[in-house]
Amino acid sequence: MNKAFEGKVAIVTGGARGIGAAIARRLAQDGAHVALTYQQSSAAAEALVAHIQAAGGSAEAIRSDAADPAAIQAAAARVAQEHGRIDILVNNAGIALFAPVDEFSLDDFDKTVAVNVRGVFAGVKAVLPHMGQGGRIVNISSTNALRMPMLGGAVYAMSKAALTGLVQGLARELGPRGITINNVLPGPVDTDMNPENTEFGASLHDYLAIKRHGRPEEIAAMVAYLAGPDAAYVTGGNLLIDGGFAA
């Protein structure tokens, strides 16, 4: 078993299900202690922790609302107090609200920005006091930051595109501190939020060069690369893993 993260401490936001759960499993499999946050999926979070522990890994679940900066800061402080530091942050928590502009409410606009943009920034601010040389921050963005061919997705695309500017700016600030920060941009991924075996899921394949959904484990592998020693010279980047959706 690869132990590239032996002794490392990681936080994965929105880590109870889907892509987040796959990332949590991969980092724990590779030796990290993983604190995964969740808002509502308590049963799924505890089941995942039990699964990781049964496989010989180390994990804990923390209830934390990604739209609440105070909750994010409290979660980071708890992890740092218990484990001495934070080495890896994966900002995975996100929401996707779709509606035509005439029907898209300002409340939903604010919710999208609060989780997908402000939540990422709050997560970075929360971990930095506990992160030193070799720290890694990875944000789960979306290929829709570059291409949004579906109607009703303008605000979601905007929220993910905002992470490009955020990461490029923060890379300059954090580089001298020995910390890298990057975005991962998945395409359609087969999860309970976006299952492949539906009419809509199948329709997405028309946009892809590789005619299938991605697997959560494939996204987790990209995150593991960026969080690991081989990516020490990679920062400020937007790494597509989208089957050619944006090609």
Choice among 156, 207, 225, 233 that is catalytic: 156
Residue 234, both tokens: 């990679």
- In this prediction, residue 135 has a pLDDT band, given cuts at 50, 70 and 90, of very high
| pLDDT value for 192 | 86
DSSP string of 162-208? HHHHHHHHHHHHHGGGT-EEEEEEE--B-STTS-SSSHHHHHHGGG-
| pLDDT value for 2 | 61
pTM assigned to the model: 0.96
pLDDT tens digits for 146-168?
999 999 999 999 999 999 999 99
Average confidence score pLDDT of the chain: 97
Domain ranges of the chain: 9-238
- In this prediction, residue 193 has a pLDDT band, given cuts at 50, 70 and 90, of confident
| Fold of the 9-238 domain | Rossmann fold (3.40.50)
**Which residues neighbour 242 within 8 Å (Cβ) at sequence distance 6 or greater?**
143, 185, 186, 187, 188, 208, 214
| pLDDT value for 30 | 97
Q: Are 116 and 93 in contact (CB under 8 A)?
A: no
CA 224, 226, 232: angle at the middle one, nearest 5? 130
Q: Is 207 labeled as catalytic in the residue annotation?
A: no
- In this prediction, residue 1 has a pLDDT band, given cuts at 50, 70 and 90, of low
Span 175-183, average pLDDT? 98
